[in-house]
């Protein structure tokens, strides 16, 4: 998939994944250059050839890209803050591409991301997915960790994934929660974390009820989602929220969802007896 000697440019937002991806590339014999977004990127990226860029230095990005020996570009990591352009003076070239560049970091929907990919491809780069560099970021089919879904829990695995798939098909969201056969929450603009907080509030108010460990969080990629720049993700925070809710498990679409900080996530799931499973789902086939 990648020519091993060609350099890889990584544009790094927050979290541990960018350094993880950089390390995976280096381990595969590939030189990397990491462009860290200031205020977002983890200091750990400094272990690799790198440069931190402020929002006001976006013009530098073009220079960096054209000086790279490789054409491959990876976007990875979270972007929490919006740029603050007060007091920043930009040259005309930067001004011209600013709108396109901003779309990458501000946006989140498919159109914006396709626009970003086109922007970099126009500059001769090829955008590839972080999971193509660090393949073990992706959840494969089968269980992760030690806990297993029982028979009653299998029904919630299927119900939650069917729901997540249905809302993906209408481009609304990626995740759903099913408890004892009933769909209790569907994700749209609020995101998975906020959806799980809502289920916790509904449970506290006894608007939804279950005793002991029950119910499943399902998460899928939308059929039309560009996995190179926008792959659904679960991680330690997701696992902790599921444990806090007394869910029985988490089921994700195999091959199309990332697990971040895998070892720690599985350790916590195992400690709590929460199952995590990747489920095969050929596009177009119902669960």
Contact flag: residue 163 with a second copy (CB under 8 A): yes
State how far the Cα of 239 lies from the Cα of 145, in Å rounded to an integer. 12
Q: Which among 5-13, 149-157, 162-170, 234-242 is the span making contact with a second copy, rule CB under 8 A?
A: 162-170
Residue 192 makes CB contacts below 8 A (sequence gap 6+) with 174, 175, 217, 219, 234, 238
Q: Is 222 exposed, middle or buried (0-12, 13-18, 19+ CB in 10 A)?
A: buried
Q: Tell me, by CB under 8 A, how many residues bind a second copy.
A: 24
State how far the Cα of 256 lies from the Cα of 241, in Å rounded to an integer. 21
| Closer to a second copy by Cβ: residue 64 or 186 | 186
Other CB atoms within a 10 A radius of the CB of residue 98 amount to 16
State how far the Cα of 203 lies from the Cα of 185, in Å rounded to an integer. 11
| Closer to a second copy by Cβ: residue 25 or 245 | 245
Contact flag: residue 258 with a second copy (CB under 8 A): no
Among 36, 59, 173, 232, binds a second copy (CB under 8 A): 173
Among 51, 62, 190, 246, binds a second copy (CB under 8 A): 190
Q: Which among 52-60, 96-104, 161-169, 275-283 is the span making contact with a second copy, rule CB under 8 A?
A: 161-169
Contact flag: residue 198 with a second copy (CB under 8 A): yes
The tokens describing 69, both together, are: 């020996």
Contact flag: residue 99 with a second copy (CB under 8 A): no
Contact flag: residue 185 with a second copy (CB under 8 A): yes
Contact flag: residue 207 with a second copy (CB under 8 A): yes
Contact flag: residue 188 with a second copy (CB under 8 A): yes
Q: Which among 65-73, 170-178, 238-246, 267-275 is the span making contact with a second copy, rule CB under 8 A?
A: 170-178
Q: Minimal distance in Å, beta carbon 179 to a second copy?
A: 9
- The CA-atom distances, in angstroms, between 39 and each of 43, 50, 261 are 10, 15, 21
Q: Minimal distance in Å, beta carbon 143 to a second copy?
A: 25
Among 60, 123, 155, 162, binds a second copy (CB under 8 A): 162
Contact flag: residue 186 with a second copy (CB under 8 A): yes
State how far the Cα of 55 lies from the Cα of 102, in Å rounded to an integer. 9
Contact flag: residue 183 with a second copy (CB under 8 A): yes
Contact flag: residue 176 with a second copy (CB under 8 A): yes
Contact flag: residue 184 with a second copy (CB under 8 A): yes
The tokens describing 172, both together, are: 């609304």
Q: Minimal distance in Å, beta carbon 185 to a second copy?
A: 5
Instruction: Give the interface with a second copy as residue ranges (CB under 8 A).
Output: 109, 162-163, 166-167, 169-173, 176, 182-190, 198, 202, 207-208
């Amino acid at each position: 998939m990648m020519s091993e000697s060609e350099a890889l440019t990584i544009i790094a937002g927050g979290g541990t994944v960018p350094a993880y991806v950089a390390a995976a590339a280096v381990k595969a014999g590939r030189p990397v250059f990491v462009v860290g977004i200031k205020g977002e990127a983890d200091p750990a990226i400094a272990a690799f050839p790198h440069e931190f860029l402020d929002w006001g230095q976006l013009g530098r990005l073009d220079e960096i890209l054209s000086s790279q020996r490789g054409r491959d570009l990876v976007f990875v990591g979270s972007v929490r803050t919006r740029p603050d352009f007060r007091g920043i003076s930009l040259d005309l070239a930067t001004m011209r591409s600013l709108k396109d560049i901003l779309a990458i970091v501000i946006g989140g929907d498919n159109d914006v991301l396709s626009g970003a990919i086109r922007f970099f491809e126009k500059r001769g780069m090829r955008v590839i997915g972080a999971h193509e560099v660090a393949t073990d970021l992706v959840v494969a089919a089968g269980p992760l960790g030690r806990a297993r879904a029982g028979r009653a829990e299998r029904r919630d695995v299927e119900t939650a994934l069917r729901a997540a798939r249905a809302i993906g098909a209408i481009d609304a969201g990626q995740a759903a929660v099913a408890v004892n056969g009933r769909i209790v929450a569907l994700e749209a603009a609020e995101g998975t974390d906020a959806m799980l907080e809502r289920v916790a509030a509904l449970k506290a108010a006894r608007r939804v009820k279950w005793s002991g460990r029950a119910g499943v969080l399902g998460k899928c990629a939308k059929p039309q989602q560009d996995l190179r720049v926008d792959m659904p993700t679960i991680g330690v925070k997701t696992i902790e929220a599921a444990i806090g809710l007394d869910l029985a498990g988490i089921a994700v679409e195999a091959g199309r969802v990332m697990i971040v900080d895998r070892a720690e996530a599985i350790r916590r799931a195992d400690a709590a007896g929460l199952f995590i499973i990747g489920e095969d789902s050929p596009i177009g086939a119902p669960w």
